[in-house]
Amino acid sequence: MKVIAVRIDSMIRLNDWLPFLSPERRERVGRFYREMDSIRCVLSELVAKSLIIEMTGCSSDQIAIQADQFGKPYMSGPYHHIQFNISHSGTWVVGIANDQDHPVGIDIEQIDEDMELGSFASILSIDEKRVLDSVPVNERMEHFIELWTYKESYVKADGKGLSMPIDLCSFTPSLTGEAAWQLASPSDIPYYWKSYSVHPDYKMTACSAYKRLPETCAVSKASEFLQRYVDLRAHAASAT
């Protein structure tokens, strides 16, 4: 299993990277008005492909990514056992993958002190609201964002998305010390969480049905990642 985080350190020449994308992704990139949205869209697919190539050694031409009825991406074909997930926020694109067919999810969120927590009341359980209300006001947003990454990474790993009832996605502060939060009601499949620190203004959490989540996250600048992706892609192509 591997977790990576890519920081957008400069503007990317989008036209240089469109040939590396699937036709569907190229179309999505073209629909964005803001350049940063397009860059995140490009990097999201390349991060996924990078993880898949590292896990399988396959060439990029063998990567076939589809989405299920809930919108969760998956690999079709001979590499269907590869589980992966991508998230992005602000200047970061992050990803997780494993080759053991264990569900995974990941989420990164930028801490925005100007957000109104009241607008998120409908997606929080009664217990979650009670916990957040007990946190000092000046720390509440940071705690909420952290909680949100736990919820989002779990929903993405489980794969049911917004169709999951809110009471089945309610978290309470963890009592074990292994993670900051834990599911209030255990799921049919045991899940595990780990948070990673990539920047003080962001919260990032990975979730998996496999207990041994990586201790560290591989962090790189987008310029460095893209060069490594080109090299990785070329090496995989020559080996297959």
User: Residue ranges of the domains in the chain?
Assistant: 2-239
Model confidence at 167, pLDDT cuts 50, 70, 90, reads low
Per-residue pLDDT of 133-151, as tens digits, reads 999 999 999 999 999 999 9
Dihedral over Cα of 104, 99, 46, 76: its sign: negative
Section 162-187 average pLDDT = 76
pLDDT at 166: 63
Give the closest residue to 209 by CA, choosing from 153, 163, 168.
153
Which helix or strand (DSSP H or E) is residue 126 part of?
A: helix 126-133
pLDDT at 69: 82
3-state secondary structure of 11: coil
Instruction: Say how many Å lie between the first and final Cα of the chain, rounded.
Output: 22
State which CATH number among 3.90.470.20, 2.115.10.20, 3.40.30.10, 3.40.190.10 fits the domain covering 2-239: 3.90.470.20
In angstroms, the Cα distances linking 187 to 42, 72, 145, 155 are 34, 19, 22, 11
Q: How many residues does the chain have?
A: 240
Mean pLDDT, the chain, integer: 91
Instruction: Determine the Cα–Cα distance for residues 29 and 163; give it in Å rounded to an integer.
Output: 27
Model confidence at 164, pLDDT cuts 50, 70, 90, reads low
Section 13-34 average pLDDT = 95
